[in-house]
Amino acid sequence: MLYSGYSREEIFAEFPQYHFKVVNTKIFRCRNYLRRLFRQEGYSL
């Protein structure tokens, strides 16, 4: 959803069943995973 341009607040509102810390953790882990994939492909971030 971040990739599509949603803000964190909009994502929190979309998933009210999850605590905001859970959503923040998921966002953090996804960004790290994406960063690792880019580095494997030769991009520097």
Helix (H, G, I), strand (E, B) or coil at 24: helix
pLDDT for position 16: 92
Can you give the pLDDT at residue 1? 87
Q: pLDDT tens, position by position, for the chain (45 residues)?
A: 888 999 989 999 999 999 999 999 999 999 999 999 999 999 987
Q: Which two tokens stand for residue 3?
A: 């990739």
Q: Report the pLDDT value the prediction gives residue 25, as an integer from 0 to 100.
A: 94
Q: Give the burial string for 5-44 (b: 16+ CB within 10 Å, else e).
A: eeeeeebbeeeeeeeeeebeeeeeeeeeeeeeeeeeeeee
Give the tokens for residue 8.
């964190």
**What is the amino acid identity at position 15?**
F
